[in-house]
Structure 1
């Protein structure tokens, strides 16, 4: 039991050591950052990826995982297949993340039905994650409670306030920090034509 309580704290300490909240981690395309990772293939949630997701689309390995939302509901990422997807990695105590909330919610609302937007909360307890969603008005799209950092590890995210943008085939097109969410709408517009 003690190992369970130490894992989130250890992950948080390691991530804070690598980068701080809101540091400009730069912008890199998938090719530059090695977005298709061995971590994805070795994830316990990964399988052969031959299933189908939304609208019968083939499920890419990147979306072959399950999680739980901050509301306690089961979440199957396979349902995201076939549409571009924005994964927004945030932490409840991060002021930079709070600064991105309004723009991320605006993009989610403006692209409903065309683009999936999913928040991936980590580095804290679920109660703080729920409070963040309520306080920032971002409840219009799902938020995963990733207390153990499994989804963060899958996408090799090492800092909060980080976006990973996938095309409809699951290929990572962008990953990095977008201060205040600036540039997110333009990146998403490029995916929807």
Structure 2
């Protein structure tokens, strides 16, 4: 992993508790005894808030966040409500993230309209994030530019190349690393099927 002079040391220390790019590939699901069964799960089980659209449906509190995409567009997490959601936490310099890109883009295309896929880029500059999206061909789904780490902190993600998968009610059903994205399609199929 090459160091970036532009990444503030405090942000890197707050977000990364593990050295390297991702972990050894171990993974956990909510309810498993694995350490990755995260506290994000408990955050996802918080009460819902009224839907801004007035349709009577609730929006899980975990989706009450906003941000800006790498293209400078506003993004509201509430738009993810009602569908399973894959949040892919990546960094532009991470080779494991680059290896996950093709499968993540395929899942986004295959499940368009049935599930949400959102990249959450961090640990670098927006320019590097935009380059990663262009180089990996992952521009068909939104990518948040999370330079300050707010979304990473919200989901208690401490390393890149990590997926957080929420069911349509906003409950975390999986958090972990899927090397090369292997298994992502099966996990999404199980939530949309």
Give the TM-score band, short-chain normalised.
0.7 to 0.9
1:149-185 per-position Cα deviation (integer Å, ceiling 9, x unaligned): 0000000000000000000000000000000000000
Gap change, CA 1:58 and 1:39, over 3 Å in 2: closer
Paired residue for 1:187? 187
Structure 1: give runs of 5+ residues left out of the alignment.
42-46
Asked if structure 2 preserves the Cα contact closer than 8 Å seen for 1:36 and 1:172, the reply is yes
| Residue 95 (str. 1) matches residue 95 (str. 2) | yes
Match of 1:173 in 2: 173
Residue aligning to 2:74: 74
Aligned residues: 184
Equivalent residues in 2 for 1:55-66, closer than 5 Å: 57-66=57-66
Q: How does 1:1-193 map to 2 (within 5 A)?
A: 8-24=8-24, 26-31=26-31, 32-37=37-42, 49-52=49-52, 57-193=57-193
- Give the conservation status (yes or no) of the 8 Å contact 2:22–2:160: yes
Q: Write 1 or 2 for the structure with the bigger share of helix.
A: 1
TM-aligned CA deviation for residue 50 of structure 1? 2.3
Shift of 1:99: 0.2
1:117 to 1:56, Cα distance in 2 relative to 1, 3 A: farther
In the alignment, the residues of structure 2 paired with residue 48 and residue 33 of structure 1 have an alpha-carbon distance, to the nearest angstrom, of: 19
The offset of 1:56, in angstroms, is 5.9
Quote the offset at 1:24 in angstroms. Answer: 1.9
Q: Aligned Cα RMSD in Å?
A: 2.6
SS at match of 2:41: coil
Q: Deviations over 1:54-110 (max 9, x none)?
A: 976411011010000000000001011000000000000000000000000000000
In the TM superposition, residue 23 of structure 1 has moved relative to its aligned partner by: 1.9
The gaps in structure 2 that reach 5 residues or longer are 32-36
Question: Could you tell me the TM-score, scaled by structure 2's length?
Answer: 0.86
What's the TM-score, normalizing by structure 1?
Answer: 0.86
- Cα displacement string for residues 26-65 of structure 1 (whole angstroms, at most 9, x for unaligned residues): 2112343232346997xxxxx9722346976411011010
Q: Partner of 1:124: helix, strand, or coil?
A: coil
